[in-house]
Every structure is written in structure tokens, then in C-alpha cells.
Amino acid sequence: MVARLVGLALVVLLVAGCGGGGAPPGVELVFRHSRMPGQDDPLPRLLRGFEREHPGVRVTHEPLPWTADVQHQFYVINLEGRAAGFDVLMVDVIWTAEFARAGWLLDLTDRWPAAERGEHFEATVATAMLDGRVWAVPWVMNVGLLYYRSDLLDASGFAPPRSYEELAHQARVVMERAADRRLGGFVWQGRQYEGLVVNVLEELWARGVELVATNGRVLVDLDGAAAALGFRRRLLTDGISPSLVTGADEEQTRREFGAGRAVFLRNWPYARRLFERPTSAVRGRVGVTALPGGGALGGAHLAINRATHHPELAWQLVRFLTSDRAQLAIAEAVGLHPTKPKLLEPALRSIFAAARPRPITPWYQTLSATMQPAFSAAITGVTPPRDALATARLQLEYFLADRWPQ
């Protein structure tokens, strides 16, 4: 902690020093990213490596605010001002289309050979593109997974479920057999936030329902979407999902499952490491499989600020940080997963390959912020699902006017 503070102070001093003087002796690149989880941040090592390969270049890296919401705000304010305050930036997969349409990112189509794009999972490359152009390079990848208690499923003779109906059935049977009345069935993220949109999208996909149709229209299949939400509502009313779900985020559900109080959990891959820690109550009893219909794609890309003064050097840094070596180092140190199948542990490859991107549209933030209260109202039973969705559709029609997302 003290070392970190001292480091931070040094960075501040360095930055302040650069601003004051005349022409700096070398070139400085600024890289903005969100803080790496865990204790062992691999970035300083990687960036020193880049500096050794590019004499005269110094890379300053500055962490973004903690929450995704505030990070997004930070980027909007700084990039809209067309400031060259940073050269390379980490963007969430759901922001890339928005930032590209806003004209904030450098077009990387001609720099990045098409052959190399094929090395990454297709779904993550899709979220780095808009209007047939490439705006970012995939850096780390996340996919929604289904965690299950292998000991409990084995005892009942169940194989991991292939559909949410099967999941609900298995959960009910296991709960009825369990000696512990407090054992919950299926925990997922039902709090009113982006995570709820992710969970509902996964339910929609399993039913073949799209939130945004290929022609850009939203909620064309209102009945299909209402049925999906009705199913999630019933999970709660039937007691298959405990009531904490409607207020829970990733961490709360992870702790619930990690304490042995649930049969199934929907979460990102980060939880695997935590479940296998020596002190974990569920160690050695957790299985992982693909979500029915595929898990949502998360993660981040690296992009270049269009206002940068050093586009070529910034591109070199992006290539360096997305190289096999760097992606492996990051996976090793903090457990964020690579975006290339060949670098990923074989057990996860098919699950990652089945990942699906959330709707790729510059309007994703508007779409999500409008759907969040509607989904929440539907799963908590405050509003019938169809009414909640119809209201959200009317609001979206007003927000987007005639400019439907393409």
C-alpha cells in the first residue's frame, strides 16, 4: 500500500515535471486503463518491457476511476473535449461502438492485418467493429458461465443442464432432497444495473429472442421477451432463486454460492479461482459449463485516442499489449482471460467460443439504462413483464427519435 502510494506520488511528480519544461527529451505515451484486480499488477513490468524495445519512449499508465459508470463518464468528458491527454485507452466491449461513432477513436482497419483478426474469438472482434471498420483490438475477455455444485448434481444423477427449464427442474429436485433448508437453487444478478441486462439477454438468447433486431428495431418480439422475464419472475416466486437475487450483483451471488448456499450460479470466470482457494467451502465441488444459449461477452479492448500526437507509437503499444506474451502474462498474474483461443486453457475454449456480444450499437448505454428499470420491475413483480417492456419501448422510441441504431 505504502509502496503504491509512493509510486503514485512519483508518477504525479513525473507528469507534473513534464508539463512544466520545454521539449521533453523523449516521447511520452499515456495509457488509461482500469485497475487490475488482485495484488500482482503485471502492467508496470510489461510497460518497462515496451520501453526497452523503444528507446526514448516513456509510457505513463494511469488507472481509471473504480466503477464502469464513472469510467464511461470520464471518457465522455475527456474525449468529447478532443484532448490528447492520453494516447491509448482501455474500452469496455459495450462502449466501443459508441466511441467509434462519436469520432473519438483512431480507425485501425488498415493497420491491423485481417489475418491477425482471425486469431481472436470472433465475438470479441465483432464488438471492436462498427460500419465494417475496426476501432480497437481485443485485450482481455470475459464470458458468462454457469457454475454448478458437481457433488449435488452427481448425487441426484444429473448432468449439467442444457436449458434454463432443465436447470430449474434440477435445482428443485436437489433442494427437495437437501437436508439443509437454506440451500438455494439458482443465484444470478438481479440488481437494477448492467448485470441484470446481461442476465436477461442470456435468458432471451436461450429462447432465440433478440433485444435488437437486425434492422435495428428494439423489442420486436415483445411476447417472447415478456415470456423470458416471466420465467425469471417465476424462479423467484417458486423459491428456486432466493429473494436476495433481486438486489444482488456479481460479488453477492459469488459469496452466496461460495458459502455453499446455492446449487447453480451465473457469474464471470473470475469466481473460479476464488472457489478453489484452500479456505473455500465449496473447493473441489464446483463444475463449470456454458450457459444455455451462450454466455454474454464481456471484457475490454485497447483503442487509440484520435487526438493522439503519436499514432504510430500508440499502435506499437497496442500491438505489444495485445501480443500473446502480454495476454499470457496478464492471465497468469491476475486471471483476466486472453482473447485468443490458442492462449486459453482448453477446458474453457468451447465455452468462450459460444459467447455472444450484447447488442453492438452506438446507443448501447441508452438501451441498457432504459431497460434496467423495466427488467427490474418485471422480475420483482412490480409491473407485468409485457407492460414494463412496452413502456421501455416507448421511452426508447422517444430517446432515439428517427435515429434507430444500425
Q: Which positions lie near other proteins, rule CB under 8 A?
A: 69, 72-73, 76, 80, 98, 101-102, 190-193, 243-248, 252, 362, 365-366, 369-370, 372-373, 376-377, 380-383, 391, 395, 398-399, 401, 403
Cell of 265: 450460479
CB of 102 to other proteins, least distance (A): 4
C-alpha–C-alpha distance, residues 406 and 393, integer Å: 17
Nearer to other proteins, 155 or 394 (CB): 394
CB of 61 to other proteins, least distance (A): 25
C-alpha–C-alpha distance, residues 133 and 112, integer Å: 11
Nearer to other proteins, 316 or 365 (CB): 365
Residue with cell 458468462: 144
Q: How far is CA 238 from the centre of its chain?
A: 30
Nearest one of 116, 83, 86, 89 to 300, comparing CA atoms: 89
C-alpha–C-alpha distance, residues 303 and 361, integer Å: 17
| 40 residue type, one letter | D
CB of 156 to other proteins, least distance (A): 28
Taking each helix axis from N to C end, the angle separating 311-321 and 43-53, rounded to the nearest 10 degrees, works out to 130
Nearer to other proteins, 150 or 365 (CB): 365
Residues 6+ apart with CB under 8 A from 103: 306
C-alpha–C-alpha distance, residues 311 and 322, integer Å: 16
CB of 133 to other proteins, least distance (A): 16
Instruction: Identify the three-state secondary structure at position 315.
Output: helix
Nearer to other proteins, 69 or 165 (CB): 69
CB of 68 to other proteins, least distance (A): 11
Nearer to other proteins, 76 or 343 (CB): 76
- With the CA atoms of 223, 164, 197 and 195 taken in that order, what torsion angle do they form, in degrees rounded to the nearest 10? 170
CB of 94 to other proteins, least distance (A): 12
CB of 51 to other proteins, least distance (A): 34
| 58 residue type, one letter | R
Return phi, psi of residue 47, to 5°. Answer: -65, -35
Nearer to other proteins, 87 or 98 (CB): 98
C-alpha–C-alpha distance, residues 396 and 404, integer Å: 9
Nearer to other proteins, 289 or 395 (CB): 395
CB of 378 to other proteins, least distance (A): 8
CB of 385 to other proteins, least distance (A): 12
147 in Cβ contact with 288 (< 8 Å) = yes
Angstrom distances, CA of residue 246 to CA of 68, 197, 242, 381, 400: 20, 13, 9, 11, 29
C-alpha–C-alpha distance, residues 80 and 4, integer Å: 31
Q: Tell whether the torsion through CA atoms of 116, 121, 122 and 128 is positive or negative.
A: negative
Nearer to other proteins, 45 or 234 (CB): 234
Nearer to other proteins, 354 or 390 (CB): 390
